[in-house]
Amino acid sequence: MKMKETKTDIRIAGIAIELQRKHIKNMHLRVKTPDGKVTLSAPLHMPKASIERFVRENEDWLRRKITEIKARPSIQHQYVTGETVRLWGESKILVVKEGRRAACSFSGARALLTVPAGSTCGQRERLLREAYRRELMAAIQKTAPAIEQLTGLFAAEWRTKQMKTRWGTCNILKRRIWINLELAKKKPLCLRYIILHEIIHLAERYHNKHFYALMSYYMPEWKKVRAYLNSPYS
């Protein structure tokens, strides 16, 4: 009988961890933003002793990451004129005006948001999110074909969605790749790195030596890009 994937709450070295048992080969430790919640994905049959040892070996990194995330300032946007938003690593001044037709676009150093009278913060946020989606899809359509040609790996479909803990994800069987909308706020090199990362999963499912060798072959500087992407200053 095939074992089911499970989620349980555990505590190791005084750190609360959500343990996710999955059909995977290796363990993966993550700290979520913005709350610093720790998740550990582990193979279904991984012994508890091995899981505890893995956490303790990474305890110093884990505590630094938790502290770093919790220390980040919380930005509460109201989406009104004068606020700053990001697009491709650059700051844009938000300009909001009333109009009959709701729309959002980027022009030079400004993000232009046209909203009906009495619009809510949530409505303005959704308009901006859709503008990010258009920007991101256009960038994917421009960037992905070159990477596909370079690697000889081709996705059947590219999609975007808001994700809390991942920059991208790959459905290997359907050859469908999802890219996090937040990447529209980062420098274009970050998008190229994530596209490459996800498309290599079509050749190698797991984050193992073969996977990282392919990453290094196609993007020798990928570790620096990853560090920048995951830093609070990107």
The 3-class secondary structure across 71-92, one letter per residue, is HCCCCCCCCCCCCEEEECCEEE
Report pLDDT for 230.
Answer: 77
Reported confidence tier of residue 187, pLDDT bands at 50, 70, 90: very high
Element of type H or E holding 178: strand 176-180
Q: What is the mean pLDDT of the chain?
A: 91
Please tell me the CATH superfamily of domain 134-229, with its number: Metalloproteases ("zincins"), catalytic domain (3.30.2010.10)
Rounded-to-integer distance, Cα 140 and Cα 115, Å: 28
- The yes-or-no verdict on residue 49 having pLDDT over 90 is yes
Instruction: State yes or no: pLDDT of 33 exceeds 80.
Output: no
Q: What is the pLDDT of residue 113?
A: 95
What is the secondary structure of 4-37 as a DSSP string? Answer: PPEEEEEEETTEEEEEEEES-SS-EEEE-TTT--
Rg (CA), the chain: 20
pLDDT band (50, 70, 90) for residue 73 = low
CB 113 within 8 A of CB 95: yes
pTM of the entire predicted model? 0.72
Q: How many residues does the chain have?
A: 234
pLDDT of residue 174: 96
Domain boundaries, the chain: 6-71, 134-229
Alpha-carbon gap, residue 208 to 213, rounded angstroms: 9
* Mean local confidence (pLDDT), 201-207: 93
Q: What is the pLDDT of residues 86-140, one digit of tens each?
A: 999 999 999 999 998 999 999 999 999 999 998 999 999 999 999 999 999 999 9
CA dist., res. 182 & res. 53, Å (int) = 33
Sheet with strand 38-43: strands edge to edge: 6-12, 15-22, 38-43, 28-31
